[in-house]
A and B are shown apart, each in its own frame.
Chain A
Amino acid sequence: MQIIPILIEGLLLGALYGLAASGLSLVFGVMTIINVAHAEFIMLGAFITFWLWFFLKINPILTIVISMFVVFMFCIFIYRITIRRIIGEMQLVSLILTFAISIFLWNFAQVTFSSTFRSVDYSLGSIGFLDTYFSMNKVVSFIIVSVIIGGLHAFLKFSRIGKAIRAVSQNPDIASISGINIDRIRMFGFGIGGALAGVAGSLIAIQWSIYPLMGQDLILKCFAIVAIGGLGSLPGSFIGGIILGVAENLGTRYLDSTLANIIAPLLLILTFLFWPQGLFGVEERVD
């Protein structure tokens, strides 16, 4: 097979991966917490899109906005009743807490939605390029991802809340002295991280089958991406996502899918061992 189409496909996949992981990075930046439940938010976004399409026949692309909003609010809720209480504790406490939240969520989904695979039957056709056909869904998804990345970047750079988020990520003590309400900003940060996950989930729903346990399969990919890109760095998670997407796609085409799935955990461990700060790692704050 020609390599360029495979690379392009990897890029399309990778950009989505990057978006999926970006929320995780953002949350770590703003509160130094590794949110193990992050991929469950992706799953929620996916199911929101599915149910809206299935029951209300809404165009899946439009459901993205709703899913973003719903997951945002849900994450604010979770932050207020759980995460906020353990902010000052050691990192392991938050790790176990978010792990527990993730267990609760994917089992809740399994109980409520049943574990069958579901697909959104929505195809935009395909587009020809370089002798192969690409699914238009993937292309549109890539465009949406790019728009969101651009929007996120602008938001963080120019908006008041965005600047506050960056301030808290860099130096919470100084930020709080400057009059920023750290708790509120962290709450927003968590919500936005969730919203990004939700969007990624919706986009996934348009391209692949979804199922309640999909978060469990995605979380390691997200960790790997964030490790490569550097915890807390958004450009890092996008580049990391693309690296993983391309690598996995190459693996699927030239080797087999089992080996392709080993790439994420393998990269994660190797990165942790030999390159812990990743591409653009922000300085690790000590416990």
Chain B
Amino acid sequence: MRRNDHSQKMNSPGILGIPHEGVWIYAIAMILVALFIVLPHVTSSYIVSVILTLFVYIGYAVSWNIMSGLTGYVNFGYSLFLGIASYTSVILIIDYKIWWPFGWILGGLSAVTIALALGGIMLRLRGSYFAIGMLALLLGIKLLYTSKYLSPMTRGGYGFAFIEPLSLNAMYYALCFLSLLCIFIAYKVITSTFGAKLIAIREDEEGVGSLGINATGNKIAAFALSAFLGGLISSGHIAFQNYIEPESAFNMHWTIVPIVMVLLGGPGSVWGPVIGAVILTFVEEFLWSHFTQAYMMIYGAVMILLVMLMPGGIIEWLKGRGTLPKIRTI
């Protein structure tokens, strides 16, 4: 996006992007982490569910950003990976009695497999064609899962209920861990040469080849990573929902909302998606309980305003104002 000024410096101060001067931010982070750990024991399960949903959205937003925020290849078909991972993990855990952490990991791996298989093909498409192509792929695969051809495994369009053998609190901690993992990996990618190459691909994909950078290989790697992390989170997410069906597992909602979160927070940054996820999870919770139907409409309106007025998101706005240092680690 032209107006998104990604002029950044690749120094690496401090820990997880926090400059040494910002010790107080570090302290607040520690308090927050402690709070998250203690939470399930001091509040109701409703609040635990809300924070759990927050972890899920953080995970989705951060992993979507790793691919699309950096390379500029907007993946409108993200739910594809989420749905595949959900189904794989549920079927393995429920039908084949696999221990749930392995089930979740295999769910993530199934998403990666699809990403690797399709990545080479889909990433040959430029910009808008890739975005629309992924949308088409999502629809096609959703139809496949709904159809009678896969229904011996998937139970077709109506889906089925299930309970995975872990408690709400266990899910909470697992997703807390997974979302932190996503943030950590995002930080590692964005501050590394790999991340710089991805950004360079967005700047000038053809020119990048003349520097010996294999653009396709790097794109596929980012694509697969985004699929893996999203798949892991999705396996946890579906465990929480106790019901799986193609319409909800592959629903555009799980793509649209993370995209708005990334746009709001700041595409291409480490913490932007997190900030966006935090803000919008609570907004969604509030809207959903008061304006059950209208909240998606409001998402659409917010997205329109963001694209027109603040395409770099909150992080770029803060950096432009000087409130945040212009380093790539944030």
Contacts and interface: CB of A to CB of B under 8 A. Distances in A.
Q: Do chains A and B touch in the complex (CB under 8 A)?
A: yes
A198 B256 CA distance: 26
Contacts, number: 117
Contact of A82 (B1, B297, B308): B308
B34 interface: no
B35 interface: no
Contacts of B76: 99
A103 B305 CA distance: 13
Contacts of B47: none
Interface stretch (A132-140, A178-186, A203-211, A269-277): A269-277
A261 B143 contact: yes
Interface string A151-191: 00000000000000000000000000000000000000000
A111 B300 CA distance: 13
A259 B147 contact: yes
Interface in B118-139: 121-122, 124-125, 127-129, 131-133, 135-137, 139
Contact of A103 (B1, B143, B296): B296
A266 interface: yes
A220 B263 contact: no
A137 to B, nearest CB: 28
B140 A95 contact: no
B307 to A, nearest CB: 5
A264 B132 CA distance: 12
Nearest to A284: B126
Contacts of A272: 125, 129, 132-133
Identify whether the interface residues of B are mostly helix, strand, loop, or mixed: helix
Contact of B303 (A103, A216, A220): A103
Contacts of A89: 1-3
B140 A266 contact: yes
Interface residues of A, number: 42
B293 interface: yes
Given A92-B127, A223-B136, A269-B136, A105 B144 contact: no
A82 B304 contact: yes
Nearest to A266: B140
B72 interface: yes
Residue from the set B263, B293, B299 with the largest chain A CB neighbour count within 10 Å:
B293
Nearest to A263: B140
Contacts of B186: none
Q: For the complex of A and B, list the 9 residue pairs with the smallest distance between their C-beta atoms, beginning with the closest.
A: A104-B300, A100-B303, A103-B300, A265-B136, A107-B297, A265-B140, A107-B296, A258-B147, A111-B293
24 contacts: A82-B304, A85-B308, A89-B3, A95-B74, A95-B128, A96-B263, A97-B304, A97-B307, A100-B301, A101-B300, A103-B299, A104-B304, A107-B296, A107-B297, A108-B297, A108-B300, A110-B293, A220-B136, A220-B139, A224-B136, A258-B147, A268-B136, A276-B129, A287-B127
Interface of A: 34, 82, 85-86, 88-93, 95-97, 99-105, 107-108, 110-111, 216, 220, 223-224, 256, 258-259, 261-262, 264-266, 268-269, 272-273, 276, 287
